[in-house]
Structure 1
Amino acid sequence: MRRTVFNEDHEAFRETLRAFIEAEVVPVHDAWFAAGQVPREFYRRLAGLGLFGINVPEEYGGAGLDSHTFEAVQYEETARAGVSFGGSGVHVLLGLPYLKSLATDEQKRRFLPRFVTGEDMWAIAMTEPGTGSDLAGMRSTARLSEDGTHYVLNGAKTFITGGVHADRVIVCARTAAPTSGDRRHGISLLAVDTRSEGYSVGRKLDKLGLRTSDTAELAFTDVKVPVEDLLGEENRGFHYLGANLPSERWGIAFNAYAQAAAAVRFTQEYVRERTVFGRTVADFQNTKFELAACKAEVDAAQAVADRALEALDAGELTAAEAAGAKLFCTEAAHRVIDRCLQLHGGYGYMNEYPIARLYADNRVNRIYGGTSEVMKMIIAKDMGL
């Protein structure tokens, strides 16, 4: 079926990005995988490609566009090549929306030019040990100093993607206690400089998948955060988090679809070359039927992901629609990638094959950004149930 989300500009960008990946990423990706992160200087090369500034206003050094379509192309091309750009996706998909919607003009002048060039990489710290998806249960605190010049931040965060390389982290912390009628009240967002005294990066977490993405634990001990680095209004952080979740969940949905499409491509190539019992694996009817079923699921996921992309760019993607897209695409990708790995046989279990890495990388899609169970709760509530 004909797609309508991309035009000639996107396809030109795709060609440039594909050539960059083949020349600059594929030859060294195994080393990144072994190291468990990409080199920090790689982000400057991504910035040189213009990846960080596409949606940044021109006055701050960006291209001034307002569309997630170029991010979508990046998801498709990295999945196609079986590679990752590490934690840079958080920098753009999660960090930038908060800066664009909440930062003051003064903050934008300070933050965005360095965001575009990759001089400052951003991450966001929401999850805490023991709280998981219950963001209202966070315990990190940011108390305003007596003279009103700064906040004193204390607490800990975990599962922070990009946490090792980040220069600035949007930290969610309590600036006030919850009220009896609203557990979500009292959370604020602070743009914390990771070079601040009392800020520390703990373990770089050893994950099942997403091995090139630096995911870390963070700790704050009496970190002084200037009041000028408060994003938005005090105590309205939970509202801001909710407003940006649809774009985050669209990103997870689209990436999951792209991973499933890549899995089918890898498997088509493999079964045409692999021989058993004197025949290629592709010759067996079971292989044809399995891949045909996978292709049908990928086509359906693509349609859902594309429709969500169009709604997001139009400012019309609701929380329930984003939850539905994430639920469908991530569950479909799980089924597709699992079946594709099965067609690889024992080789599918080896990390030297991209299907094995895809299998591990894909698993977290049904957890982060809200679990599949949470997505079902959101959808059911929207149905009036």
Structure 2
Amino acid sequence: MTLPTPLDDLLKLAAETGARLAPLATGTDAGRDNGHESYRVLRESGLLALLVPQEAGGAGLGFGDYWRVLAELARHNGAAALGFNMHHVVMGALADAGGTRLPPAAETFRAWMLDEVVNGRKLFASATSEAGRGAKLRGMRTRYRLSDDGTHYILSGKKSFVSLAGVADYFVVAAAADGAEDTGEVSHFVVAADDPGVGFGAVQHMSAMYGTSTAPMTLDEVPVPRSRLYLGVEGMSLFKVVREPHWMIAGYTGAYLGIAEALFQHTVDHVTASAARADSPVVQQELGKMAARLWAARALVHEAGDLVTARRGSLEANAMVHAAKYVVGEAGPRLAQDALRLCGSAAVSPGHPLERLIREVQFAHVMPAKPQDCLEYLGKSAVGVNLYDARAFTW
């Protein structure tokens, strides 16, 4: 299908797709299914091409509007929205490069990847995190080398918490050059799920977000054609993250905003089911406090996302996405506490949407950037540290 381009039409499509995803959330959360049906629905919707430039067959959405669509999906099914975001994390650099003339190898790579998404309906995911290191690029233990005949890169290593295992067609794998002492020069490679030497462990049963289909990944001498080096450039991944960190550290923010919005709405629905509760001034004040927290978080997310669209890579935009990630991560658990007080047993009853949302909203802090990293970035910005210098970070 051809995606519409006006934002209102895309939000309507996201709401319609979300209505198909919503009934799947409870069963997947309980482990009664593997959650793969949600990604079939997302493939069918055409929304995988949200960021693809219009001239290549996509919607050409900017970062701020992408967050709005992501939040709409997350209101219906948070785990599916997070998995959906993993696809767009690796599409983001291609979208950012839209309209920019690139070297021939990069142009060829971009055309191939966009075609795989638009015409092949292929799903991509990121494989960056490693045990004990999280998503930090510096010190990467996964390594690559050029094959003896120079036609392939050979990748070896282990990744942890790889989302969309068993679902995605391709994984964009971060790795450092074999033998390099300074592993700050990290590259990304597109590895097919069925490439020789690629393996996945059991999907992890987590306390929330089971539907992200997250599992450990092993790469045992995996041959990757040179044409699948991301944008045809080695060693630039850390530089990209430092200059334009919005996808790496804040892509999840829109999803967690949507989960928080769903949590608030379910709380309102539960309260208003009883006229006595709904008419209580005390209850109304509690709902008012929740609404104020949610509105504040939403306003910051929208402003930060729109600033990235308008001034991508500016120090102000980079600082604001860190602030938005931190504030959403703080607001969600506070809303969960408010919901527990207002809704009582409904909020802890297995299978009730409130119980699932209360668990899910707590995990924004687990996703990069962590709260301390967000605050450190904002503090460095305040005192004038050069935030374009990779040496200023532990990334």
TM over 0.5: yes
Residue 295 of structure 1: aligned partner: 291
Distance change >3 Å, CA 31–CA 264, structure 1 → 2: closer
Superposition RMSD in Å: 2.5
* Cα distance in structure 2, aligned partners of 1:13 and 1:186: 38
For residue 72 of structure 1, the aligned residue among 49, 67, 73 is 67
* Cα distance in structure 1, aligned partners of 2:331 and 2:10: 28
Verify: 1:124 aligned to 2:116, yes or no.
no
After superposition, residues 142-221 of structure 1 pair within 5 angstroms as 142-179=144-181, 183-221=182-220
Q: CA deviation at 1:18?
A: 2.3
Residue 34 of structure 2: aligned partner: 37
Q: Which amino acid aligns with 1:359?
A: I
Q: Which amino acid aligns with 2:174?
A: C
* Cα distance in structure 1, aligned partners of 2:67 and 2:237: 27
Residue 321 of structure 2: aligned partner: 322
Q: CA deviation at 1:14?
A: 2.7
Q: Which amino acid aligns with 1:109?
A: A
Distance change >3 Å, CA 84–CA 130, structure 1 → 2: closer
After superposition, residues 332-371 of structure 1 pair within 5 angstroms as 332-371=331-370
Kept in 1, the 8 Å contact 2:177–2:186? The answer is: yes
Kept in 2, the 8 Å contact 1:267–1:343? The answer is: yes
Q: Counterpart of 2:350 in 1: which secondary structure?
A: coil
Q: CA deviation at 1:97?
A: 1.4
Report % sequence identity.
Answer: 24
List gaps (5 residues or longer) in structure 2: 386-395
Q: Counterpart of 2:272 in 1: which secondary structure?
A: helix
* Cα distance in structure 1, aligned partners of 2:190 and 2:44: 24
Q: CA deviation at 1:365?
A: 0.7
State which drifts further: 227-236 or 323-332.
Answer: 227-236
Q: CA deviation at 1:263?
A: 1.7
**Where has structure 1 moved over 6 Å in runs of 4 or more?**
none
State which drifts further: 254-263 or 321-330.
Answer: 254-263
Residue 373 of structure 2: aligned partner: 374
Deviations 1:132-190 (A, max 9, x none): 254312211111122211111111001112233121111111114455xxx45331111
* Cα distance in structure 2, aligned partners of 1:319 and 1:178: 29
TM-score by length of 1: 0.86
Kept in 2, the 8 Å contact 1:48–1:117? The answer is: no
Residue 238 of structure 1: aligned partner: 238
Kept in 1, the 8 Å contact 2:65–2:306? The answer is: no
Kept in 2, the 8 Å contact 1:144–1:175? The answer is: no
Q: Counterpart of 1:212 in 2: which secondary structure?
A: helix
Q: Counterpart of 1:224 in 2: which secondary structure?
A: strand
* Cα distance in structure 2, aligned partners of 1:107 and 1:378: 33
* Cα distance in structure 2, aligned partners of 1:324 and 1:170: 27
Q: CA deviation at 1:60?
A: 3.3
* Cα distance in structure 1, aligned partners of 2:169 and 2:244: 21
Q: CA deviation at 1:51?
A: 0.9
Kept in 1, the 8 Å contact 2:85–2:251? The answer is: no
Q: Which amino acid aligns with 2:7?
A: H
Kept in 2, the 8 Å contact 1:44–1:118? The answer is: no
Verify: 1:89 aligned to 2:85, yes or no.
yes
* Cα distance in structure 2, aligned partners of 1:69 and 1:377: 24
Deviations 1:289-314 (A, max 9, x none): 21111111111111101101210111
* Cα distance in structure 2, aligned partners of 1:262 and 1:348: 13
Q: CA deviation at 1:380?
A: 1.2
Kept in 2, the 8 Å contact 1:273–1:280? The answer is: no
State which drifts further: 82-91 or 347-356.
Answer: 82-91
Deviations 1:207-237 (A, max 9, x none): 1111211111100111111122111421222
List gaps (5 residues or longer) in structure 1: 1-7
Kept in 1, the 8 Å contact 2:70–2:85? The answer is: no
Residue 225 of structure 1: aligned partner: 224
Residue 4 of structure 1: aligned partner: none
State which drifts further: 203-212 or 49-58.
Answer: 49-58
Q: Counterpart of 1:52 in 2: which secondary structure?
A: helix
Q: Counterpart of 2:138 in 1: which secondary structure?
A: helix
* Cα distance in structure 2, aligned partners of 1:220 and 1:191: 12
Q: Counterpart of 1:170 in 2: which secondary structure?
A: strand
Residue 16 of structure 2: aligned partner: 19
* Cα distance in structure 1, aligned partners of 2:177 and 2:165: 22
Q: Which amino acid aligns with 1:21?
A: G
Residue 3 of structure 1: aligned partner: none
Kept in 1, the 8 Å contact 2:256–2:361? The answer is: yes
Q: Which amino acid aligns with 2:363?
A: V
Distance change >3 Å, CA 266–CA 66, structure 1 → 2: closer
How many residues are matched? 367
Distance change >3 Å, CA 260–CA 205, structure 1 → 2: same
Deviations 1:64-108 (A, max 9, x none): x2413543343333343355436222112x011134448722222
Distance change >3 Å, CA 178–CA 207, structure 1 → 2: same
